[in-house]
Structure 1
Amino acid sequence: MKIKPNKLRSISIVKGQLKNVKFCIGDDPIPTVSEQPVKSLGRWYNASLRDKDQVQQVRQDITNSLENINRTLLPGKLWRLQFGLLPRVMWPLTIYKLPITTVEKLERTMTSCMKKWLDIPRCLTNISLYGKGVLELPITSLTEEYKFSKIRLQMTLKDSRDQTISNAEQPIPSRPQPSSERDRKSPTYALCPTPATLKHILTGCKTSLTQGRYTWRYNQVLKSLAAALESERNSTNSLPLRATNSITAPTFIREGQKKPNHPPTKPETGQLAMARDWKMLVDIGQQLIFPPEIAATTLRPDLVLWSPSLKSVYITELTVP
């Protein structure tokens, strides 16, 4: 048996960066994936190791195929699209990661061609083409087929008889019996008997949800913000209200005298300076009830700051990554 270097491919990644390193078998160099992309199990791989180029190629293939079908003089254009083009593009749509918005754009292009071939108005709803009912047409929606293909792929991998494939979702290791108090308080400690998969720990643990572990970071930021605003609110409400329409008396200076050098008083600035009756509610500890004198609603913003005299309201909705 003889190894053929022209049928092999090589790729070198050093610290996350692609390096142009040449490997040879004897005197024959092995091509890199950047020079010659390789195809394995129907999937193309290039130097980027991403699906962006392949997705663009799939879009181009569908567009070219629709143009070829449209240019043909033979009848049965809709039949060619349904039983020729659609089955051919389902495999690339299954193995590559396409955004659903891209698939919807491709479906709109196909729908436009279908309406043109059927000689129906473009304003006709798509339910008439893809709807399921008594007057059902033998036409399949590309978006529905794309979703079905992803579900079939997921079920095939999950229900595979090969344990290596079906157990691809590895659980995060954790200690069932912590040896110290520090380990007991560690986030990696098993809080419930459910297997500690990454999805369960991040979003699915009911114990963590009940104990407030998912919202702890968010609440800490909101507490710091509320403490700063509460301090400013109390200091502002304790000050005497300054008359906004009062006229300052002019200062007269006699002849030969100089203007007294008094330090200027610092004017009150900020959004809270015009009132002394500011109130504040924060959605921490207990569910916030929106002030009924402002509006009757069941919405719960993170922080509400309002002044009855000014009839001004400041609503804060916090987002913590």
Structure 2
Amino acid sequence: MLGKKFDTTLSDMVNMGEVQCNVVEWLTKIDKSGLPGRYRAWIYQHGVLPRILWPLLVYEFPLSKVEALERKISACLRRWLGVPRSFSSIGLYSTGTKLQLPMKALTEEYKVKKTRQVMTLRERKDAKVEGAKVKIRTGRKWKAEEAVKEAETRLKHSVIVGVTAVGRQGFGMTTKPRWDTANEKGRRELVQQEIRQMEEESRNVKAVGMKQQGSWLNWQGARSRALTWSEIWSMEGYRLSFLLRSVYDVLPSPSNLYTWGLIEDPTCTLCKDKPASLQHVLSACPVALKDGRYTWRHDSVLKTIAAKLDTTRRKKRKMQKNITFVNFVRAGEKKDNQAEGLGILGTASDWQMTADIHQRMSFPAEIAATSLRPDIVIWSQGTRQAVLLELTVPWEDRIEEAYERKMAKYQQLVEDCKQEGWRTWCLAIEVGCRGFAGQSMWRALRTLGVVGAERKKLITEVCREAEVASQWIWRKRDEVWKSAK
């Protein structure tokens, strides 16, 4: 029920205590509901959080009390999602990490509500409201008025700086509302967005100081994953727990158990040589490599990519003579409504394909003579075009390194093919072993002509294959595989 309660003391202390008790009661009921953890998290996000925000807005809650409530909520969310108590709140609420969950932080929502209240009262047009001199009290730790001033200063500075291009973006690719041209409503929205950005920056500062749970900051070539509720619901509980714990390296690996003081020897039980960190188990153990565990994961991902490319090359489509990807429009001209380009696969209709699954492929002799075996070769005899695809499933920190290594490995083969009269492309693609596709894969699919929803769907499937395979490698980390017996 909307409204505000008053008692004879005209103080909010009793009402704030009642709100805190209600939150604890709601969380307890959800916890005892018997539902799977991911459903409990959804109930909190869409049932409890909206009911908390109104009391936080109308009562003079200090930030310290809101943070205390958030700690209780975070403890429940960790338990429901199957992660340990040491799991950082950055992993739960951050929108700038490589793995983003669809949950909102109570503290962030509280600050956004209070700043909007400050701006609404400041822009009031009613003389009685202006005469009331309403003050927004949020405690000594954080002042809503000061936060609004800081956000406005940052927005005014952004007008001077302009829109900056990030990564491979060209000039003018992104636009955003400007402070100097926005109306009152637009400025309120901009300030709220800036408050959220400031909260995200504070989380990133904390992540920089975290050696393990902040290691995702070094994933230069990996694309971010934003999980939706439908994706979370479709996951088994153990799979979701493994994904979260592996990304932030809080799985009970021997190396972590040794750090936590629970075991005395962190040495890998397979190779008997190096400490068994998560990185060692999933991508660096020589015995696991010899057993074929990493090869099995690689081939699982490769099968998914090969199946999609095989379907794409067989499609009947309008042929184009040259490869076009972007149609530039001159000033004063109208944009052509035709497709921007069909990629390499749209330039011929007689494509053939072979994939090196289970190491059974030999490079097509009509193209060039070589002992190298790219993972996938697609070629057209009629147009004398060839595409070499090389897949790597590395540790996410080494995606860029793997890309450079593979491109250098096949550089000479590409030159040999060109000397034989073949127009040749080498596309190195990387998928992290924890299920994060590299930027190289996104670009390679666009080059081939797999775009739009098809590209997103394929990347989702590929990431799932890598993630599930790594989960199985983790679960069987101390066992000898049957193939090795």
What TM-score does the superposition give when structure 1 sets the normalisation length?
Answer: 0.39
**Which structure dedicates a bigger proportion of its chain to helix?**
2
Bigger relative contact order, structure 1 or 2 (CA pairs below 8 A, ≥6 apart): 2
Q: Highest CA radius of gyration, 1 or 2?
A: 1
